[in-house]
Amino acid sequence: MKRVSLFLFLFSFFLFNVSAQKAVPELWGMRVHDEAKVLSQGVVEAMEAQLKVYEDSTSNQIAVLIVPSLDGDILEEYALRVAEAWKLGQKDKDNGVLLLIAINDRKMRIEVGQGLEGVLTDATSNRIIRNEIAPAFRREDYDEGVRAGIDGIILAIGGEYVADDSDGTTELSGDEFWMVGLFVYGILGIFTYIGLISGKAGWFLYFFLIPFWAVFPTFAMGGSINILYTYLILFPILKVIIGSTAWGKRMAKNMSSGRSSGGSGWSGGGGWSSGGGWSSGGGGFSGGGGSFGGGGSSGSW
């Protein structure tokens, strides 16, 4: 009976999250969707023409979506849903790119198709956001920011993008990058393990760690949103399996007795980077069937 109740609770939790997701707009044959009305009409038309010429010459599909707000949705999840629904890129090349901007949230993301992840890497996408788009957005010059971002994406895909890191920021070396990543995953892994063997109290840890699994792997190593999905699905399964074994029951009992006699505890806090669906069009631009695997980068201004 307890397992049935647990299943119903988890099912209701996921059902609520799905129903609360922000809707994906239809493509309507356009490459540039400015739902926040922050771009001038001239810039929209110029970028439409630029991206059409670029697609005709390379088959790469780039689209822009600017929304007023994410309405509480997670940036990386929403960007991936839009890219999947629009099916940017060719089916056999997966060469699509989405630039998503949420004005009121002051967040943006470059979502990269699997076929372009080798040239438009997570690190390069981050540099484009940080060096090309964000400075203009801080001045509320959205025309210039989006235009510079598109130019940077096109140059990066062609292997011609050179980042200007004159803002004083420094990039982590390869060894430093992996050390930070291992540290982050190590800490999360320890608390996840504690949650798996902690009996009923472990469910509190499960929900508590969700924002950490959402933000820190992506921040540290450019991890995919699939990491979060794996945690959300695999943790309950493993916890139920472990809880039904003699070893799991013994560990839960030991954890419980340790808390009651030792008085130890923990505290923390946190918050929160990113493939097909249906093809759409309005007599003009339409997705070519490309897929996405969560590559890209997120940023703010």
pLDDT in tens, 72-84: 899 999 999 999 9
Looking at residue 259, what is its pLDDT? 46
The amino acid at residue 208 is F
Looking at residue 251, what is its pLDDT? 64
pTM: 0.59
Is 66 or 165 the better-scoring residue by pLDDT?
Answer: 66
Average pLDDT of the chain is: 78
Over residues 201-224, the mean pLDDT reads 72
SS3 readout for the chain = CHHHHHHHHHHHHHHHHHHCCCCCCCCCCCCEEECCCCCCHHHHHHHHHHHHHHHHHHCCEEEEEEECCCCCCCHHHHHHHHHHHHCCCECCCCCEEEEEEECCCCEEEEEEEHHHCCCCCHHHHHHHHHHHHHHHHHCCCHHHHHHHHHHHHHHHHCCCCCCCCCCCCCCCCHHHHHHHHHHHHHHHHHHHHHHHCCCCHHHHHHHHHHHHHHHHHHHHHCCCHHHHHHHHHHHHHHHHHHHCCHHHHHHHHHHHHHHHHHCCCCCCCCCCCCCCCCCCCCCCCCCEECCEEEEEEEEEC
Looking at residue 191, what is its pLDDT? 87
pLDDT above 90 (res 53): yes
Query: For 82-100, how does the pLDDT look when each residue is reduced to its tens digit (9 = 90+)?
Result: 999 998 988 889 999 999 9
Nearest to 264 by CA among 194, 189, 187, 185: 194
Is 163 or 100 the better-scoring residue by pLDDT?
Answer: 100
30-39, 203-212, 245-254: least confidently modelled range: 245-254
Nearest to 192 by CA among 246, 243, 232, 249: 232
Nearest to 161 by CA among 171, 176, 151: 151
Over residues 64-76, the mean pLDDT reads 93
Query: For 104-132, how does the pLDDT look when each residue is reduced to its tens digit (9 = 90+)?
Result: 999 999 999 999 999 999 999 999 999 99
* pLDDT classification of 148: cutoffs 50, 70, 90: very high
